[in-house]
Structure 1
Amino acid sequence: MRSIRKSTMLAASIAAGLLTILPGGVANAAPVSESYPECELFFDAPRVINGKVGFTGGAKCPPTSSANVTWLMVWLTPHHDAPYKEWVGEKRGAAKTHTAGSTVPCVSGKYQGSVFASLYGDKGVDHITVDTTATITC
């Protein structure tokens, strides 16, 4: 898991520059796939529910695209000395849209939510990722 994360950090920093925030606390990534620019990553802003910080993200390709989302991983990481490890959500299998979520116990501080997806279609495999950060008060 950590090796996947390290290998996507460069792509994440590029993708973060393409990020736009939409009204209502929902964020959406601009197309970041070189092979399948019609596909995109999306996520909800991290939030606190019942004493836990939750993060939901996904990837989607339009029905007209040759690409499918074949693997999706989301994770939520605290940027402080919280007494727990990062948590991930994962979906596998070819589909036009996948969503997943992760939760961690709430400790006030900064969190990073990340979405990583593998796309597969007539142009081969492409990997896309995007990150967001949020300050959470419990």
Structure 2
Amino acid sequence: MNRPRKFATLTAVIAAGLLTITSSAVGTASATPLSPDTGGPENETRVSEVYPGCEVFFDTPRVVDGKVRFTGGAKCSDSAPAEVQWLVIWLEPDNNAPYDEWFGERTGSAKSHSASSTVPCVSGHYQGTLFASVYGNKGVDQIWVDREATITC
């Protein structure tokens, strides 16, 4: 996806957020992170600066039923004075992978939300973006995190 399309998608996602998948067959894939992980070797995590008990995160990208799947979520600890209101995730292949189920969304007030985004597997570079709105006693905090990986199908 080109940058203008990604920007337009992010703008629509933020606007929508302010107004208001599982599969048992898992294949093998080689996922090599291209950017430094702040949450350890298996995931990318970003903690809210407004609500320290809340975070967004990516799990390790996987190939499931012939598709590259990025899964992530947002969660607030039981003691955090906030809840996740809205979560969106999308996957951006930087190769010739066709777009299929590249967008996932979860809404509603909860301590956690998760979603996944998939595209048909084509070996190459992928980037996933996860964006969440967290609401609590200090208002709205918007947190996002990117995950990059090279996938071998």
TM beyond 0.5: yes
For residues 31-78 of structure 1, the C-alpha deviation after alignment (integer angstroms, 9 at most, x for no partner) is: 1x2211221112212111221101110001011111100000111110
- Supply the RMSD in Å over aligned alpha carbons: 2.4
Runs of 4+ deviating beyond 3 Å: none
Say whether the 8 Å CA contact 2:83–2:111 is kept in structure 1. Answer: yes
Say whether the 8 Å CA contact 1:78–1:86 is kept in structure 2. Answer: no
Q: Pick the aligned partner of 2:40 from 4, 21, 24.
A: 21
2: distance between equivalents of 1:97 and 1:83? 30
2: distance between equivalents of 1:113 and 1:124? 27
> Could you tell me which residue of structure 1 aligns to residue 139 of structure 2?
124
> Could you tell me which residue of structure 2 aligns to residue 114 of structure 1?
129
Q: How do 1:4-19 residues align onto structure 2 when only pairs under 5 Å count?
A: 4-5=9-10, 19=38
TM-score, normalization: structure 2? 0.73
Say whether the 8 Å CA contact 1:89–1:102 is kept in structure 2. Answer: yes
1: distance between equivalents of 2:100 and 2:11? 16
TM-score, normalization: structure 1? 0.81
Q: 1:116 to 1:30 in 2, by over 3 A?
A: closer
Q: 1:67 to 1:4 in 2, by over 3 A?
A: farther
Residue 83, structure 1, aligned to residue 98, structure 2:
yes
Percent identity (aligned): 54
Say whether the 8 Å CA contact 1:77–1:86 is kept in structure 2. Answer: no
Structure 1 residues without counterparts, runs of 5 or longer: 9-15
Say whether the 8 Å CA contact 1:36–1:67 is kept in structure 2. Answer: yes
Structure 2 residues without counterparts, runs of 5 or longer: 1-5, 14-34
Displacement of 1:17 after TM fit?
Answer: 6.7
Q: How do 1:63-82 residues align onto structure 2 when only pairs under 5 Å count?
A: 63-82=78-97
